[in-house]
Amino acid sequence: MSTPNTTMALALREGGFASAPTPQVPESLAPHLELREVTLPALGPGQVLVEVSLSPVNPSDLFFVQGGYGQPRVQGNAAGFEGVGRVIAAGGAAGEKLIGARVSFLGTGTGAWAKHAVADAALCIPLHDAVPEADGAALIVNPLTAVALVEKGREGGKAFFLNAAGSQLGRLMLGLARDEGLEALAVIRRSGDEAALKEMGASEVLVTSDPDFLSKARAVIKAHKPRVLLDAVGDQATADLFFAMPTGARWVSYGKMSDEAPSLNAMGQFIFMDKHIEGFWLSRWLPSAPPEKAMAVIKLVQERFATGKWSTRVAAEFSLDKAIDGVIPAYLKSAGKVMIRP
């Protein structure tokens, strides 16, 4: 089988970072991406070529294509951080054992929104046959983040807050927390999912649009005494909730779903109540984790998908030629994953 030198991809129109803050979701992908043939780089030692079968659209992808993510764009490169596919070539002995294997991968050499992607063999996860394709496509970014964040939640005691609890990532954390005997206190922006989230493992559900949100939050804090807030939103309700939490509370920011920055109106709490705000980025956490720790986390993630404890809700699926027009409307109207099938 000959190895392709080019591939069809959703390529970045611009490079570098954006010159101004970017919204959570762009109005359209058309200003940022174009469908075209791109050149595949020669495989280096430790790299593999993956024939991509499915790739998710994550919030981080949408920030990245706009130039608002923590790493610069490379003009002309394919977008897309992760996916699932079959390894068809290797750049050295380290990747040869993966040839023919179905893997979850991070597109470290080229992006995953393409028919082929270059990835580091060390960051490819050979998949158990029982792991469905959609779960394999979204097995790295959200699931590994879920495991790492639930660990952070545990550091503050038995109970912790998480907002955006109805998202795919939030639901993963709810199930994991329940199974590990923790009390996940879910926060959502609109009512309607309270019963479903409790069934998934939430000990409490708070709705920020509720006029009594803060008074209800204070009652939950008094009952459960959470000291960690896992935040994917970054809005004023999150700040108000954090300032209602007890001494020693930690606000762990890992996303910014809100386009409105919060006002930190109780700064004295950082001095007198030993409160902290910190960030979490999987791209920094994963390389810094000890190898045995990373392997244990990957094993746990696969087991949860293979046994059905976790599953990926798919809202819509688009081919490369339909993705630029179809992804954003589908993304905005559904809580499930939007997928790209090259």
pLDDT tier, 283 (very low <50, low <70, confident <90, very high otherwise): confident
Domain of residue 245 covers 142-283
330 touches 316 (CB < 8 A): yes
Looking at the predicted structure, is the pLDDT value of residue 111 above 70? yes
Q: Does residue 318 belong to any structural domain of this protein?
A: yes
Q: Does residue 291 belong to any structural domain of this protein?
A: no
337 touches 57 (CB < 8 A): yes
Residue corresponding to tokens 């993510």? 69
265 with 320, same domain: the answer is: no
Q: Which structure tokens are listed for 248?
A: 């020693």
Query: Domain containing 61 — which CATH number?
Result: 3.90.180.10
| 114 secondary structure, DSSP code | B
86 with 178, same domain: the answer is: no
pLDDT recorded at residue 1 = 55
41 with 11, same domain: the answer is: yes
Query: Nearest Cα to 252, choosing from 338, 324, 160, 179?
Result: 160
103 with 90, same domain: the answer is: yes
Of the two residues 317 and 288, the one the predictor is more confident about is 317
CA 232 to CA 220: how far, in whole Å? 20
102 with 170, same domain: the answer is: no
Q: What Rg value do the Cα atoms of the chain yield, rounded?
A: 20
Between helix 168-179 and helix 141-154 the angle, nearest 10°, is 50
Question: 161-188: per-residue pLDDT in tens?
Answer: 999 999 999 999 999 999 999 999 999 9
Query: Domain containing 184 — which CATH number?
Result: 3.40.50.720
Spatial neighbors of 326 by CB under 8 A, at least 6 apart, are 316, 318
pLDDT recorded at residue 29 = 98
230 with 255, same domain: the answer is: yes
Question: 120-132: per-residue pLDDT in tens?
Answer: 998 899 999 999 9
Question: 28-82: per-residue pLDDT in tens?
Answer: 999 999 999 999 999 999 999 999 999 999 999 999 999 999 999 999 999 999 9
